[in-house]
Structure 1
Amino acid sequence: MPRGSDRGRRRTAGGLAFSAVVLTVGVGAGTAWAAVTDNIFPTSNAWGTCSNDPDGGDGDVTCLTDNSQLTYYMDSSGTYELESPDRTAVRSTMNNDYAPTDLSVSYDSSPAFSGNAETDVVYQEGSTNLPSSADGVTWCNDAVDNDALECDQQYVRIRGNGHYTRGLSCHETGHAVGLLHGNQAYPALSKTDSRLGCMVTPVGAGTGLGSNNRDNINSMY
């Protein structure tokens, strides 16, 4: 989607001015941030630049999406077509986990794969270029040149045969909006800490976003 000016960042990458907040504090007008840990990119345990990964990615590059208007598309034909249960899993996390946040979530039935209004997140079913240890991966296809933190279009690829669940869809979507694993958060948490919601690894099939991730998303977007 076109870059917007609606985001009030609580930290900047250039000066590494990070803020880790554990107690409830005010964030903007009438909004409270009560996150247990700061697990949205960048943190003092995870910083760098957003760059394009090769097809399939390696999961090492984390990016923010480029604004709060989050559009998504599920491949509907060809090699990476999502089957009906897979589509249900994606809709479940988008409707129940991400739509209630400050992100404005909508399905893009006419996706754009180039230009200045690309569809933000494209979901695929398949295992091409996935590490053998991973059930899913998220990668940036089009980093925003003038902002090293953001990506204009990201891909989520999850294996078939039952791997597409609400929990894993929530996890990979979390990476697409900048959410991190516990060891990359500040202060760091165990990767299995239940307060990380669907950003735990491994993630349960029905695990939702959780309040910590929601508060981090709302504080960023």
Structure 2
Amino acid sequence: MIRKTILILSTLALSAALGLTDFTSVSPPSRDDDLQILWEDPFFDDYYWPLYLLGSCGLNHVQDDFVLETSAVVKGFDCWAVYRDGEHPQPFIVTIRYDWYGKPDGTYWSDRLTDVTDTDTGSDYANYDIWQSRILLRESESIHIEAGTPFWLEIYFTGPSFGWTAREWGNVHIDWEEYPWSALFRVLGTPDAGVEDSSWGEIKATF
């Protein structure tokens, strides 16, 4: 068992209380065999920097950006989160937004999703369990995204209390205002057959 402390950040936007807590870590659950990781900034067991909670429920909406290196059909997402009231009601409202000069903009795709599997990571935040929530799209709603095109993911919880975990150093947006954190999530799906990856230089050129 590894004991660590993580910073509890308190703002109205984040819905978290200031303080320190013990941090117990285990390996994340295995991935579904038919889904590939297209992009990720995941939660893992060696966090030596502060971990934050971003409230994405009620009046608050959190967005963070991603860019696929390979054109693909997106079929779902993993996020790492805390349900502070202990309940996991459905659905989630998941939205992919266009990028506008490094900021989230209009809706590219959005849906209310109920195919959600919550797996306890074995880790905790301020005595609340950290869950890996796998949110899958309906087959009819699978999304095609081109390599090198920046988009923003918004995961909104329809229950009363939800904290999306985040790390330092990023450009997450909460209600369209930028903050220096990066939300922890994966984009899952199936890469296009016979396509070449975008180079990092090509991706950076899109910003």
TM-score by length of 1: 0.25
Q: Which has the higher contact order (CA 8 A, sep 6+)?
A: 2
Q: More helix by proportion, 1 or 2? A: 1
TM-score by length of 2: 0.26
Q: More strand by proportion, 1 or 2? A: 2
